[in-house]
Amino acid sequence: MIKNTFSHIKGVGEKAEKLLWDHNIHSWDDFLNADTHPVSPAKVTHISENLTLSKKAIQEKDHAYFSKQMVSKNHWRLFNEFKDSAAFIDIETTGLDKRYSKITTIVLYDGKNIKHFVSGINLFDFAPEANKYKLFISYNGKTFDIPFLEYFLNRKFTQSHIDLRYVLKGLGFQGGLKSCEKQFGLSRNELDGVDGYLAVWLWMEYKKRKNENALETLLAYNTEDVINLEFLMHKAYNLQLEKTPFSQTHILPIPPRPKVPFKADTELVKKIIQRIYQY
């Protein structure tokens, strides 16, 4: 989709981009090879010069060139071009305020491998691992996960970032990650009903009682987040394509769901819920 995009060029808005598409100028090569254009000669020169730079950025896999110039609601267009260097990321914490809370677990999924990081074990291995990727994909990560990670790990992450909260909102899907999952028919089965609040209790159970089943359940829950992000990213990408001329040619197949490598202890979850609400 990147090579069909013109609105990343300064001075070319979405109306101008649609005008080009409506005149069957669907790609950069179409524009550069066209005999006539539906824009002024000065704009033709300007766009042509920028498309040369765009081609160079693609060759160099320069994600930042595009993400810095594109409006954030169009960042979904980065996915297909950079999906081989993308990481789905989700964190669990002891609270919402990064100044007074800590990260307990992080799960990173690159479409092939699921990698987990646990406080007190290998949490600080996350940053060098994350640096292998050019693109982060999250749900509400721009507001929560990435600022929390940067504060807690005392480092800056410069990857481009697709935040599905805003991509899905633009498609009419409201609410948190669990709500969006349900709207797409996803079920977490034995982990249905587990949320961020219960995740804190699972961490406390692990730390205070040395209960490894609690940690395994927490990691199972955290892993469900990133696996479902992959599904939602593909669905959102295909739905966004329906607003363009490329809905039949650029559609992405939904990848098979990977197996969660952690086993949730459903009895433990029930006991913790009973403990929380005392019934």
Asked whether 189 and 166 are in contact (CB, 8 A), the reply is no
Average pLDDT over residues 7-23: 96
User: Cα(255)–Cα(114) distance, rounded to whole angstroms?
Assistant: 15
Q: What is the pLDDT of residue 190?
A: 82
User: What does the pLDDT look like over 172-215, one tens digit per residue?
Assistant: 999 999 999 999 999 988 898 889 999 999 999 999 999 999 99
Task: Take residue 72 and report the two structure tokens written for it.
Answer: 């954030």
Residue type, 39: V
The overall average pLDDT reported for the chain is 96
For the chain, the domains span: 2-60, 79-277
Question: In what helix (H) or strand (E) does residue 89 lie, and over which residues does it extend?
Answer: strand 86-93
What's the whole-model pTM score?
0.95
Percent of the chain's residues with pLDDT above 70: 100
User: What does the pLDDT look like over 154-174, one tens digit per residue?
Assistant: 999 999 999 999 999 999 999
Q: What are the angstrom distances between the C-alpha of 276 and each of 1, 221, 269?
A: 48, 18, 11
Residue 279 confidence (pLDDT) above 90:
no
For 79-277, CATH number out of 3.40.30.10, 3.30.420.10, 3.20.20.70, 3.40.1000.10 equals: 3.30.420.10
Starting at the earlier edge strand, list the strands of the sheet with 103-109: 114-118, 103-109, 86-93, 135-138, 160-163
